[in-house]
Structure 1
């Protein structure tokens, strides 16, 4: 796994050790689970602005020490896969294949509408120079698909996006929307599965695209 720290900020981490005594209240919260001895938090350095703010180091550590931890590996792997998408786009930017104008991961990429929240995995805005010299740009919602959802759960994402776009069309704000929702799948078999789901839609099929997770550049530039 490769990861590049964004240019706009730096990151810092700190660690803390759980108390060893079994009489400690914090440890008792974790009794049903394996004891977690060391926790390392990775945060943007810009948020560590002082102990009198909600984002101070002391405040964050206090919250971590007073709430039971939970480890959900599929979610961790999902976040790592999303980070890898960003790295691949950044490498293409460095090589001159495109320009990454914006990239947002969760929850920054979420969008609220009609008292609902749309939760894509990422949002990307890229710029391209066409063979004739014209410069174009496009933005996309990205769904990182790791082939661990089937049936109604994955199919239910499609009407959520359709509702979001229809809401903005009725509101007259459709011109500011991402041009497409791109599903990135781990293999060609999963690509075909997602394409079949999209083909079943009676409307809005052109709103969705499918590509390979290890080649997001092609998936976005062909859209």
Structure 2
């Protein structure tokens, strides 16, 4: 059931990600074997679907296989009184393009990394919301209903402090005008004061991407914003995302 809940939250996950979250053992080989057995059983029951493509190609091994909920798995979760996750409906995820699938896997990677740091006692993972739970609706400057739609909302306990962040995962697909438009929407949300009333601070907006040149492009867009708005945002490599989110010197997003 824990595996099904994770797949409901992130829509797609690799065998490696699910193993790291839900299979514990002092021996890596034992964890891998148990993980394969659990996913094989869920696949045979029809609760999950294994996608044809693998991360890393045919030589990536069983841990690189990608899984998602089946219709049966969705129905099982919908009947689970203990499940508080949003159960996706509609178009099945295996019909989507690889670029979108990779985007979802990158979000799951960040969660897995934060979960590992929590298990090591380096931080406390207080909250990790994916879309649509992470989205925020508010009255825009002209009075119309607007939304910011981050890929995730994260709250971390670091020592005596709580870190909050909105996370945007960019895989080089967003144009400069699109990035600028999204940044302006976050500025509008900050100026509305709605999030501050909700939690007392405005979360920092972290743009995380996988290549330095993409990070540089986003940084250029942020640098073009008014000086008062730039502290709302941070940019970095996704591989360093968990470390960036927990840094106390980057706390808040409150300029």
- TM norm. shorter chain > 0.5: yes
Q: Give the structure 2 partner of residue 84 of structure 1.
A: 109
1:181 to 205, 219, 232: 205
Q: Give the structure 1 partner of residue 35 of structure 2.
A: none
Q: Give the structure 2 partner of residue 48 of structure 1.
A: 79
Q: Give the structure 2 partner of residue 156 of structure 1.
A: 181
Cα separation, 2, equivalents of 1:172 and 1:220: 19
Displacement after TM superposition at 1:106 (Å):
0.8
Q: Give the structure 1 partner of residue 47 of structure 2.
A: 14
Cα separation, 2, equivalents of 1:176 and 1:45: 38
Secondary structure of 1:109 counterpart: coil
Displacement after TM superposition at 1:70 (Å):
4.5
Cα separation, 1, equivalents of 2:151 and 2:132: 8
Larger Rg over CA atoms = 1
* Bigger mean CA offset, 41-50 vs 70-79: 41-50
Displacement after TM superposition at 1:179 (Å):
2.7
Contact 1:100 1:125 in 2 (8 A): yes
Contact 1:127 1:137 in 2 (8 A): yes
Unaligned runs of 5+ residues in structure 2 are: 1-13, 23-38, 50-68, 140-144, 251-255
**Corresponding position: 1:204 with 2:229:** yes
Contact 1:128 1:136 in 2 (8 A): yes
Cα gap change, 1:46 to 1:14, in 2 (>3 Å): closer
The RMSD of aligned alpha carbons is 3.2
Please give the TM-score of this superposition, normalised by the length of structure 1: 0.69
Please give the TM-score of this superposition, normalised by the length of structure 2: 0.61
**Corresponding position: 1:127 with 2:157:** yes
Count of residues in correspondence between the two structures: 180
**Corresponding position: 1:3 with 2:17:** yes
Cα separation, 1, equivalents of 2:158 and 2:114: 12
Unaligned runs of 5+ residues in structure 1 are: 17-38, 130-134
**Corresponding position: 1:213 with 2:225:** no
Cα separation, 2, equivalents of 1:15 and 1:164: 38
Cα separation, 1, equivalents of 2:70 and 2:166: 31
Cα gap change, 1:180 to 1:172, in 2 (>3 Å): closer
Offset from partner CA, 1:16-51 (integer Å, 9 cap, x none): 9xxxxxxxxxxxxxxxxxxxxxx934548442259x
Q: Give the structure 2 partner of residue 166 of structure 1.
A: 191
Cα gap change, 1:148 to 1:92, in 2 (>3 Å): same
Structure 1 or 2: more helix by fraction: 2
Displacement after TM superposition at 1:189 (Å):
2.0
Runs ≥4 in structure 1, deviation > 6 angstroms?
Answer: none
Cα separation, 2, equivalents of 1:112 and 1:93: 30
